[in-house]
Amino acid sequence: MRLVSGRYTNGMEAELIHWLRDNVPRFGKADISIGDDAAVLPVINSRTAITTDTLMDGVHFLATELSLEDIGYKAMAVNVSDLAAMAAEPVAAVVSLTIPRSMQLAEIQQLYEGMFKISRRFQIEIVGGDTNRWAGPLTIAITVFGKERGTSFWTRSDAKAGDIILVTGPLGGSLLRRHFSFLPRVDEAAYLQDNYNVHAATDITDGLARDLANIIEASQCGAVLDCDCIPVSNDARELAKSSGRTPLDHAMNDGEDFELLFTTSAEESKRMLVDPKLDVVVIGRCTDDRQLRQRDGNGIEQVLERGGYQH
Amino acid sequence: MRLVSGRYTNGMEAELIHWLRDNVPRFGKADISIGDDAAVLPVINSRTAITTDTLMDGVHFLATELSLEDIGYKAMAVNVSDLAAMAAEPVAAVVSLTIPRSMQLAEIQQLYEGMFKISRRFQIEIVGGDTNRWAGPLTIAITVFGKERGTSFWTRSDAKAGDIILVTGPLGGSLLRRHFSFLPRVDEAAYLQDNYNVHAATDITDGLARDLANIIEASQCGAVLDCDCIPVSNDARELAKSSGRTPLDHAMNDGEDFELLFTTSAEESKRMLVDPKLDVVVIGRCTDDRQLRQRDGNGIEQVLERGGYQH
């Protein structure tokens, strides 16, 4: 592990390393941090959750449309959102960057400043990484580590027929702004895990319909979504004015909402709905078949085909 | 964490995921592996070492010159070598790929087969990752996790004045073949840690001179290398025939040897040299100044300037 390497010697590596050593937010989460062959985390006496996601210029974002700080923020946030989906407490991260040759030191620092925002908010220590320059585009591969808070991590595979399905916030149209400014639902996951018995959970990245399909596939059950109950964001309504799609279609399929999507028993869901510290919405229930269906306001049900979800 | 994602839908994702689920070597190292928002490792009751390195086409390898299996092998091996340099026992890995659009499923499988070779050799479980296609070149970002074997991980910062400096094998000319076929020194590190008191250690990636400079900088001491003692590989001699450089220059500066470079007390080094299970070579000693020097056969010393090391 070399935090900064690369096949050039214009002094930027040394400057970047020194800047990182001085500026990376630290929370005492590592015994050995930046500067050795590997970072060392202390014994944590719980299981470890690990997740990794790469954001690539031209695929997951356009460097010409987002600020570098927003890109760095998002790259860290999408990974932390995966930990929230497991109810893991984020601890540390490593960051691998491929940097276009034209990028200046100040720009790389902006990218890191975006990551630091998430670092500081959730006390996640960046303990190392790898930085290389090349002729290609910017990519950011982040791996984050979390520890177990309560009795167990949430998985996608623990939904049961009869479970109630909930989400933590409005969906759709994240492309307008939320996809680079959302706050991962770490605190909501922690509160839910401390106070309730959540069965299955994930975060909404590919869209409600697809992510719910992942849960029912992993849990070997089915689900019915109540279209009238799905919280549609103002952004979805805004986008629908020009997209030719309905606001509900946006809410069902846009993705990158990064809200928690989870299931729990009917009794637990009733408690949740009257909890003033929680802001969750019931959107459907799990069934004992293997189908994913949506029900409209007239009670008419329609099967959602996996893969498409175009309505 | 989505093991396979991407903005295309030609069925390759599903096929690749199924192939990976069926073919990833498993060693019971994970409670939750491929398929959830994060992987989960069980409680390990020791500190964790974490390292990450990215290999990029056109920077660290040329996809036109190496086979995909060799590229995959090397990408995993360089990371495992970093764990060996800490005397960590490798446990698990996550793999993030950026895949050129033209790459076929069979080619991605070859890449993984190369990684699996290292996986199987050291029982390292690939527990997740992220795969995305794009118009850009192949990159492989791997993060590996290791646990503590003995009393403590080795670091770069524990060399002491008077220490003897050793390496585990011949150096230089790795470009001819060893850079993609080397075996990370995991077993050697384990044996050394179980039977000896190693002070500082690293693996030789940037070249003996640079990597030793890292050790003495971190340890705040100096070092003298005995040029006559440095084990020069046959590959270094071979390359020197056409490079206009000396075999010793290659051994000092080529890098990518992935041998262990470490220091220990004079007493321990004597024991090591007569241990039939060890194949290590004394190449110098640590001093109480802050200089890195080389001494030739006539006892003439010369200071090695940091950064250059051109001889």
Q: Are A226 and A280 in contact (CB under 8 A)?
A: no
* Of B102, B122, B148, the domain-final residue: B148
CB contact (8 A) between residue B128 and residue A52: yes
Give chain B's residues under pLDDT 70.
4-11, 306-311
Query: Same domain, yes or no, for A135 and A183?
Result: no
Q: Are A230 and A208 in contact (CB under 8 A)?
A: yes
* Mean pLDDT value across residues A175-187: 95
Distance CA B260, CA A46 (A): 32
pLDDT tens digits for range B231-240: 999 999 999 9
In a domain, A268, yes or no: yes
Query: Same domain, yes or no, for B295 and B226?
Result: yes
What is the CATH classification number for the domain harbouring B136? 3.30.1330.10
pLDDT tens digits for range A232-279: 999 999 999 999 999 999 999 999 999 999 999 999 999 999 999 999
Query: Same domain, yes or no, for B143 and B201?
Result: no
- The domain of B135 spans 12-148
Write down the pLDDT at residue A305: 74
Give yes or no for residue A18 having a pLDDT over 70. yes
Query: Same domain, yes or no, for A97 and A192?
Result: no
- The DSSP annotation for A264-294 comes to E-HHHHHHHHT-TT---EEEEEEESSS-EEE
User: Which residue among A98, A145, A156 sits closest to B54, beta carbon to beta carbon?
Assistant: A98
In a domain, B97, yes or no: yes
CA distance A297 to chain B (A): 32
Query: Same domain, yes or no, for B126 and B202?
Result: no
Distance CA B250, CA B248 (A): 5
Write down the pLDDT at residue A56: 95
CB contact (8 A) between residue A40 and residue B153: yes
What crossing angle do the helices spanning A68-84 and A105-122 adopt, rounded to 10°? 30
By mean pLDDT, which of A114-123, A144-153, A164-173 is the weakest? A144-153
Q: What is the pTM (predicted TM-score) of this model? A: 0.94
The pair of three-digit structure tokens given for residue B171, joined into one six-digit string: 């150096």
CB contact (8 A) between residue A37 and residue B202: yes
Write down the pLDDT at residue A10: 58
Largest CA distance in chain A: 68
Give yes or no for residue A101 having a pLDDT over 60. yes
Distance CA B311, CA B307 (A): 12
Quickly state the pLDDT bin for A292 (edges 50, 70, 90).
very high
Give yes or no for residue A150 having a pLDDT over 90. no
What crossing angle do the helices spanning B68-84 and B186-195 adopt, rounded to 10°? 10
The pair of three-digit structure tokens given for residue B32, joined into one six-digit string: 């939750």
Distance CA A115, CA A305 (A): 37
* Of B113, B148, B183, the domain-final residue: B148
**Nearest-CA neighbor of B127 among B56, B28, B51?**
B28
Cβ contacts (< 8 Å) between B205 and chain A: which residues?
A: 2
CB contact (8 A) between residue A136 and residue B135: no
In a domain, B311, yes or no: no
* Of B91, B123, B148, the domain-final residue: B148
The pair of three-digit structure tokens given for residue A75, joined into one six-digit string: 């790259």
Distance CA B230, CA B236 (A): 12
Please report how many Cα atoms fall inside a 13 Å half-sphere around the Cα of residue B183, on the Cβ side.
11
CB contact (8 A) between residue B139 and residue A98: yes
CB contact (8 A) between residue A52 and residue B145: no
Query: Same domain, yes or no, for B265 and B136?
Result: no
**Closest-approach residue (CA) in chain A for B130:** A53
Query: Same domain, yes or no, for A139 and A169?
Result: no
Cβ contacts (< 8 Å) between A58 and chain B: which residues?
A: 134-136
What is the CATH classification number for the domain harbouring A185? 3.90.650.10
CB contact (8 A) between residue B36 and residue A218: yes
CB contact (8 A) between residue B36 and residue A156: yes
Write down the pLDDT at residue A309: 44
Residue that is written with structure tokens 């009751």 in the block: B45
**Nearest-CA neighbor of B37 among B76, B98, B116, B94?**
B94
Q: Are A258 and A195 in contact (CB under 8 A)?
A: no
- Cβ pairs bridging A and B (under 8 Å): 200
Phi, psi (degrees; rounded to nearest 5) at A12: -70, -35
By mean pLDDT, which of A72-76, A84-88, B19-23 is the weakest? B19-23
* A131, β-bridge pairs: A97
pLDDT tens digits for range A49-72: 999 999 999 999 998 899 999 999
pLDDT tens digits for range B211-229: 999 999 999 999 999 999 9
User: Which residue among B48, B50, B98 sits closest to A54, beta carbon to beta carbon?
Assistant: B98
Distance CA A116, CA A250 (A): 31
Alpha-helix residue ranges (DSSP H) falling in B123-185: 178-181
Write down the pLDDT at residue A15: 86
Quickly state the pLDDT bin for A5 (edges 50, 70, 90).
low
CB proximity list for A194: less than 8 A, separation 6 or greater = A149, A150
Question: What is the C-alpha R_g of chain B?
Answer: 21
Query: Same domain, yes or no, for B137 and B57?
Result: yes
Distance CA B186, CA B194 (A): 12
CA A281 to centroid of chain Cα atoms:
19
In a domain, A158, yes or no: no
Query: Same domain, yes or no, for B191 and B282?
Result: yes
Query: Same domain, yes or no, for A123 and A20?
Result: yes
CA distance B96 to chain A (A): 7
Q: Are B114 and B76 in contact (CB under 8 A)?
A: yes
Cβ contacts (< 8 Å) between B99 and chain A: which residues?
A: none
* B164, β-bridge pairs: B264, B285
Q: How many domains does chain A have?
A: 2
Cβ contacts (< 8 Å) between A145 and chain B: which residues?
A: 48, 50
Query: Same domain, yes or no, for B92 and B36?
Result: yes
Query: Same domain, yes or no, for A76 and A197?
Result: no
CB contact (8 A) between residue B38 and residue A82: yes
Q: Which residues of A40-70 are buried (b: 16+ CB within 10 A; e: fewer)?
A: bbeebebbbbbbbbbbbbebbbebeebebbb
Q: Which amino acid is at A207?
A: G
Write down the pLDDT at residue A93: 97
**Closest-approach residue (CA) in chain A for B101:** A59
Cβ contacts (< 8 Å) between A38 and chain B: which residues?
A: 49-51, 82-83, 85-86, 88, 146, 153
CB contact (8 A) between residue B47 and residue A35: no
Distance CA A111, CA A79 (A): 16
Virtual torsion, Cα B54, B85, B250, B299, nearest 10 deg:
150
Write down the pLDDT at residue A8: 47
Quickly state the pLDDT bin for A285 (edges 50, 70, 90).
very high
In a domain, B4, yes or no: no
